[in-house]
Amino acid sequence: MKTFSPENLSLKDKSILVTGGTGSFGKHFIKKLIEDYKPARVIIYSRDELKQFEMQQQFQGENAKCLRYFIGDVRDRDRLTLAMNDVDYVVHAAALKQVPAAEYNPMECIRTNVDGAENVVRAAMDNKVDKVIALSTDKAANPINLYGASKLASDKIFVAANNISSHSRFAVVRYGNVVGSRGSVIPFFQKMIAGGATTLPITDDRMTRFWITLEQGVNFVLSSLEIMVGGEVFVPKIPSMKMTDLASAMAPNLEQKIVGIRPGEKLHEIMVTSDDGRNTIELDDRYIIEPAFAFWKQHSKGNYDGAKRTDPDFSFASNNNPEWLDENGLKEFLHATGIKLVA
């Protein structure tokens, strides 16, 4: 299983701000920072005071003395600008992520995911932040729901920001479903199995999904922060699994009931479209979508050691993936996140 660990990243005595820092990714990312990198300051920027209070109880001791808790919303540019004072790096993880909620509350989704992205960019440029890396999603490629469309718009904002910034550099990481995260199907299946369910619901027996662990996601962001020059969309090479195989691995004795695909849901997720494939290079552990802007070629950027260009018709989707999870692979993934199969 790939680790995506950075090789030479140094964050010692640096100041890092994490938007959405009290979420699943944020907490794991910050834990990694304070244990392994000895930063001068880590600013947790989020809007939920209760989650910040709970996080303060969780993170204590000598390592946690660098943590700063900053109440604020990415919709508030002035507050962001204040929070980014004297910050070296920003990791933008704040977003409205629930697909049904976004469909029902479209303007709220846009204000956070799109307007919030612009606010992060402007605040970073105002403070001359060195590097900003934004978290995206496989749903942003060929989106069919508002959440995916809003994250595609966010990706475009961060990539294009490199056109107008004289100092700050911006890049994006895009990856798939996080094993065991809130809203993941794995905890949902576990709850059903533990509750004595006789069947597991499957939306479509052809459905496939990408999978990544939280630890891999954190390392992928850190390693992308290390190598980015500004303008890239980084995509990890991670495995796929059929949802029917997932259900069979978790509960081999339970029947599977096809319940129909939900609104805004795809049969297969995609992370590099065939149109983006023309501008994609690959390393051993990731694909890099290069920006189609003059600044990229003009400054001879993107000369990654060992990178090769993908075929012109290349695409990376969960159904054409060369790497697949079987039952043993799933168990390895779950073990890495402390999840045990209950069946």
261 alpha carbon, distance to own chain's centre: 24
Q: How far apart are CA 99 and CA 172, in angstroms?
A: 20
> Given the structure tokens 């990198």, which residue do they identify?
37
Residue 270 in 3-state DSSP?
strand
How far the first Cα of the chain sits from its last, in Å, is 24
139 is catalytic: yes
Q: Do residues 307 and 178 touch, judged by C-beta distance below 8 A? A: no
CB 17 within 8 A of CB 67: no
Tokens of 178: 């996080």
Annotated catalytic residue, options 97, 139, 242, 266: 139
Which residue in the block uniquely carries the two structure tokens 């979508």?
289
Cβ contacts of residue 72 below 8 Å, gap of 6+? Answer: 45, 46, 47, 79, 80, 83
Q: Closest by alpha carbon to 5, among 173, 179, 226, 172?
A: 226
Strand 240-242 and strand 208-212: pairing? antiparallel
Nearest to 85 by CA among 21, 41, 149: 41
SS3 18: strand
Determine whether 53 is exposed, middle or buried from the number of CB atoms within 10 Å of its CB (0-12, 13-18, 19+): exposed
- Indicate which residues carry an active-site annotation: 139
